[in-house]
Each structure stands twice: as structure tokens, then as C-alpha cells.
Amino acid sequence: MSHGPATPLTATASGPLTGEAHVPGDKSISHRSLILGAMAVGETRVTGLLEGQDVLDTGRAMQAFGARVTKDGDTWVVNGVGVGGLMEPDDVIDCGNSGTGVRLLMGAAATHGFSVTYTGDASLRKRPMARVTDPLALFGAVAHGRSGGRLPMTVVGAPEPVPVRYATPVASAQVKSAVLLAGLNAPGETVVVEREATRDHSERMLRGFGAQIETRETREGREITLVGRPELRPQTIVVPRDPSSAAFPVCAALIVPGSDVLVPNIGLNPTRAGLFETLRDMGADLTYENPRQEGGEPVADLRARFSPDMKGIEVPPDRAASMIDEYPVLSVVAANAEGTTVMRGVAELRVKECDRIDAMATGLRACGVTVRDGADWWEVDGRGPGGVTGGATVAVHLDHRIAMSFLCAGMAAQVGITVDDAGPILTSFPIFRSLMEELGADFTS
């Protein structure tokens, strides 16, 4: 769903950030809980679901496909229709701002013999969909979209789907997941091969729901094999807290003098934890306290303290997939470190909710930071602690992560930084403002 008029917000330097930051549930796992819950037979119960607009849009979509999605106290309840049981929606499916939502749904529905028309907000309508509709065509689905494979788009599902073997040309968990979800309703084995490992929440959750799915490392990369037409068993799911949201209080604490923030209960699945490793490589005072296993995932409490001695580094490109959503906020930390931070192998950043390299480079330059960029790389010259001048109003281009990154930048800048629209933050981190204010951040509308 599109949001209302733009709501500017300014962050100015405050005192230290202190206390505990309880960030919301993981966005990736929340989408998948609703989709797989809808494809199981019976009642799936989910606690800790992220109630951000992206996930709520996916919940509405699953209802349109015939599942029942309700709330019982703090628990979301999904009454699923079973693999192959999705029904033709009687209206356009509007996925709002969410690439994950639309791409996973396209996959799940593509092996059902009906047509679905998808759309989204002005950001989502610019994003490439051929990366998903190309492999879905191998199952027998046919897509008719706008030029360049953009939304609005109708996908005519395959009435008699065949299983597929597909090597993904881009490192994308959304593409991998779309193929696996399509493979659920194709008879036989669907195989996805990815050269670089991307987040593996779909694989873990499909296994949890009782699908036969195996992953093995091969010379070509990681090969995932799913046996189609399983009966998925409903699950009780506790969604862990989102490391991509944790990134904001963590990074803000590292750059605001005197800060000491605890971010409890964060999933440190290696396919998601790249930012935290990178910050530690830069010399951040970031520790993993109370490390433990929960629901088969490594979890820890993150403790971040003001780190005036951070140094710019070259981020290993093979880490990109494990921190793909965190580069915008990393660039803010980089601007507050000494020396240059180099980020390569990140062309994917140009096709997110906006061109994230361009949005961050433009905004950082307006705040006095030198940034160089090319098609798949960028580098930020650090100005040392408190060195960012600030004072600018930056455009967020309907991108929640750009908005939150510049608000974190404003907390440590010499003059406050204004984002032209804080509305998109509601897509992934609806309590961002109150959570940061409780830590001591100073925001003005």
C-alpha cells in the first residue's frame, strides 16, 4: 500500500545513546512465515512477526489467495490452504514497497493454473522483475509486464508445471526463494544453484514445515534440491529480531560520543551477519554477549559503545550478500571513521527501493563527505569522529534504509540532518523513532 503525504524528520546531535533497544521481528522471516503458513494444511501460529507495512501487505495478499490471516492477542494465526490450494485473487495484488513480498508471491503462485496481476508503489514499479519471471517461465508461467519487466505485471500461472533446474545469475535470496516456492507445486525435484550463498531462511523454514529439501556445496556453488508437492505441516514460529534493524541502533551508538547500547536477542545467522563482522574489522567496540542457539539459529545480545578509533577498510566483496541491506548505514559509520572505506561488488544496491549508492553518495556529499562511485562500487572518505558537517535535507526516494541511515548520520553531525520523508520507515521498522528517542536521540518533525 502506498503511504500518505511526505513527513520530513530532522535528527540533531544529542547526548550519549544509552539503554536497551528491542528491535522488531525479522522482515525476511516474517514474510516467509505468512507465505508458508498459507501453503500448509491447518493453523500456523506466529509470534514476533514484524508488523511493518511490507509484511502486512504480504498478509493481505495471502488472504486474497484464499488463506485466513488473523490475530489472536500477540499471535498471528494463518489458516493455510495447502500446496496447490492457492486460489485466484479477485483483484490486483498490491505489494506496496516490498520487493521480497512481490517476488516471493510471484513464485508461490506461478505453478497454479490462474493469472495474478501484481503492482506496488512508485519505488517497486521501477524494480526489475525479469530476474524472477525468467526462471518462472521454465516452470511454464508466462509474464506480461511493462517494458523492462516492470510492474504492473500479470503472471499467467502454469496449469501443468514442470520442475526446474536453475542457476541464479544474480546473488539474490528473493530469486532463489521464488524458484523454490514455485517448485513446491511442481511434481519432482526443483534445483536452484547459487554461486554465492544468500540468506537461507526459505530453506530452513521449508525444512521446518516438513518439505524434503537438501543443500550441498558443489563446484558450481550451493545447490538446493526441493522435492515438489509435499504436504506442509503447520508450525509454531517465533520470529527472531531483525539484524538489519539492529544495525541502526548499533551504528548510531558507535558514532555518538559516550554511547553504550545493548541490542538483545539478535539472530547472527552467518548469511545475515556481515555488517557486524565488518564493523569489528573497522575497530568498532561491538561485542556479542551471551551467545546461544535459538530455534536452530545462532543468537546473541549485541553491545555497541562509542568507537572513536574506527578505521576505513576494504569490505571483502564476498561478504556483500550477507550485509546487502546494511551498506547505507555502513557508509554513515565510514564517514565517521578515519581513512577510506571501499565497497566493491555491490551492483545490487542500484536496484533496491532506490539506487542506494546514488542516494547515499548524493546525501553524504551534501553533508560535507567525499564519496566516489562507479557501477558496482563506491568509496567513502572518513572525516573522523564528529567530522560530518551535516545541515542538509536529503531525499530518501521512498527508501526506508536511506531515511534511517541519514537520521543516524544526523545524530553525530555538527548540524542536524533532515530527511525529506520518514514515512517509508514504517515498511520495516515502525517503532524506529520511539526506540531511538528512548535511547536519547533528538528528532524534530
Ligand X SMILES: C=C(OP(=O)(O)O)C(=O)O
Ligand Y SMILES: O=C(O)C1=C[C@@H](OP(=O)(O)O)[C@@H](O)[C@H](O)C1
Annotated binding-site positions for 3-phosphoshikimate: 27-28, 32, 172, 174, 325, 352
Q: Which amino acid is at 78?
A: V
The catalytic residue among 325, 355, 373, 421 is 325
Is residue 259 close enough to count as binding ligand Y by CB under 6 A? Answer: no
Buried b (16+ CB within 10 A) or exposed e, 383-395: bebebbebebebb
- Under a CB-based contact definition with an 8 Å cutoff, are residues 417 and 409 in contact? yes
Q: Name the residue with the smallest CB distance to ligand X.
A: 99
Is residue 53 close enough to count as binding ligand Y by CB under 6 A? Answer: no
Q: Which does 151 bind (CB under 5 to 8 A by kind): ligand X, ligand Y, none?
A: none
The binder of ligand X chosen from 242, 325, 355, 373 (CB under 6 A): 325
Is residue 353 close enough to count as binding ligand X by CB under 6 A? Answer: yes
Minimum Å distance from CB 28 to ligand Y? 3
Give the whole-angstrom CA distance, residue 146 versus residue 149: 6
- Under a CB-based contact definition with an 8 Å cutoff, are residues 83 and 229 in contact? yes
Q: Which three cell numbers stand for residue 104?
A: 516471493
Q: Which three cell numbers stand for residue 337?
A: 571513521
Is residue 401 close enough to count as binding ligand X by CB under 6 A? Answer: yes
Is residue 381 close enough to count as binding ligand Y by CB under 6 A? Answer: no
- Under a CB-based contact definition with an 8 Å cutoff, are residues 379 and 341 in contact? yes
What is the crossing angle of helices 173-183 and 99-110, to 10°? 20
Q: Which three cell numbers stand for residue 226?
A: 526441493
Which of 243, 256, 263, 240 minimizes the C-alpha distance to 19?
A: 263
Residues 331-360 that bind ligand Y (CB under 6 A): 348
Minimum Å distance from CB 23 to ligand X? 14
Q: Which three cell numbers stand for residue 345?
A: 561488488
The binder of ligand Y chosen from 14, 111, 174, 331 (CB under 6 A): 174
Residues 66-105 that bind ligand Y (CB under 6 A): 99-100
The DSSP line for 53-71 is HHHHHHHHHHHHTT-EEEE
Minimum Å distance from CB 181 to ligand Y? 11
Q: Which three cell numbers stand for residue 352?
A: 533496491
- Cis before 152 (ω within 30): yes
Nearer to ligand X, 248 or 306 (CB): 248
Burial class (CB in 10 A: 0-12, 13-18, 19+), 155: buried
Is residue 202 close enough to count as binding ligand X by CB under 6 A? Answer: no
Nearer to ligand X, 111 or 428 (CB): 428
Q: How far is CA 425 from CA 61, 238, 256, 351, in A?
A: 21, 23, 21, 18
12 phi, psi to nearest 5 deg? -125, 160
The binder of ligand Y chosen from 173, 184, 412, 417 (CB under 6 A): 173
The binder of ligand X chosen from 199, 222, 352, 433 (CB under 6 A): 352
Query: Contact region for ligand X (CB under 6 A) — 11-19, 96-104, 209-217, 375-383?
Result: 96-104
Q: Decide if 74 is catalytic.
A: no
Minimum Å distance from CB 356 to ligand X? 8
For the annotated binding site, the residues are 27-28, 32, 99, 127, 172, 174, 325, 352, 356, 401
Q: Which does 98 bind (CB under 5 to 8 A by kind): ligand X, ligand Y, none?
A: ligand X
The binder of ligand Y chosen from 14, 33, 53, 172 (CB under 6 A): 172
Query: Contact region for ligand Y (CB under 6 A) — 166-174, 180-188, 363-371, 433-441?
Result: 166-174
Strand partners, 71: 76
The binder of ligand X chosen from 98, 133, 235, 331 (CB under 6 A): 98
Residue found under cell 546487502:
324
Give the whole-angstrom CA distance, residue 287 versus residue 260: 11
Query: Contact region for ligand Y (CB under 6 A) — 168-176, 178-186, 361-369, 405-413?
Result: 168-176
Query: Contact region for ligand Y (CB under 6 A) — 172-180, 268-276, 308-316, 416-424?
Result: 172-180
For the annotated binding site for phosphoenolpyruvate, the residues are 27, 99, 127, 174, 356, 401
Phi-psi region of 444 (alpha: psi -120 to 50; beta: other; left: phi over 0): beta
- Spell out, one character per residue from 196 to 215, where the chain touches ligand Y: x when CB under 6 A holds, - when not: ---x----------------
Burial class (CB in 10 A: 0-12, 13-18, 19+), 402: buried
Is residue 428 close enough to count as binding ligand X by CB under 6 A? Answer: yes
Question: Three-state SS for 88?
Answer: coil
315 phi, psi to nearest 5 deg? -75, 125
What is the crossing angle of helices 27-38 and 53-64, to 10°? 10
Give the whole-angstrom CA distance, residue 120 versus residue 95: 5
Task: Give the total of residues touching ligand X (CB under 6 A).
Answer: 8
Nearer to ligand X, 325 or 421 (CB): 325
The binder of ligand X chosen from 10, 33, 44, 100 (CB under 6 A): 100
- What residues line the site for ligand X (CB under 6 A)? 98-100, 325, 352-353, 401, 428
- What residues line the site for ligand Y (CB under 6 A)? 28, 99-100, 172-174, 177, 199, 324-325, 348
Which of the residues are catalytic?
325
